[in-house]
Amino acid sequence: MTDKSAVKLKEGIAYYDISPEITENTAVFPGDVAYSRRVSLDFEKGDALLLSSVESTLHLGAHVDSPGHYNRAGAGIEARNLNYYMGPCQVITVDLPRGERVYPKDISSQAIETQRVLFRTRSFPNPNSWNGDFNSLSAQLVDDLASKGVVLVGIDTPSIDPAEDKALEAHQAVYKNNLAVLEGIVLDAVPDGVYKLIALPLRLKGADASPVRAILCKE
């Protein structure tokens, strides 16, 4: 059914929606809390309105981590400067075997043009089906990007570190360099290039992450 509110728009901005749809089938890390929605009031039951609540991990679909997720001394997501999550952004495709980290040599042919860089790996192709052999980022890459002025790194997988990694070396490099992290995005339809990113977290006090509705607008 067409969203009738859309016809009221006098003008619009072309954008790519890089957020997967959230349903009960959305894959989460094994053992984490899957998304579920409970309906309290329902038109079908004679109620005057529709009212529902949700239970879920905060690391759901497209989401941003807070420093408190990967470092005991880190801040909650509500304390992050929103400028991390909006502004010029570059999409870069990397083609590596499943399970490998991305190193500086893997993008040596790419000039870093913006302060935000999103990596398309195509290694987590279905947001509704878990696979643990996705690509991730190396600490060396995070350090290299930080030295070039990058403030946010993103990836089309559930994490910038491997699924089974406990050391979280990429996350720790992010913390050391005071970067931001955007994970779980979908870049299949987005050509490599420069865009404007908008991926604002909810103001969840003390929280380790927040889901976002991430979009890319063509600059």
Catalytic residues: 69
As given in the structure block, the two tokens for residue 73 are 């001394």
For 145, the enclosing helix (H) or strand (E) is: helix 139-147
Q: Helix/strand/coil (H, E, C) string of the chain? A: CCCHHHHHCCCCCCEEECCCCCCCCCCCCCCCCCCEEEEEECHHHCCCCCEEEEECCCCCCCEEECHHHCCCCCCCHHHCCHHHHEEEEEEEECCCCCCCEECHHHHCCCCCCCCEEEEECCCCCCCCCCCCCCCEECHHHHHHHHHCCCCEEEECCCCCCCCCCCCCHHHHHHHHHCCEEEECCCCCCCCCEEEEEECCCCCCCCCCEEECCCEEEEC
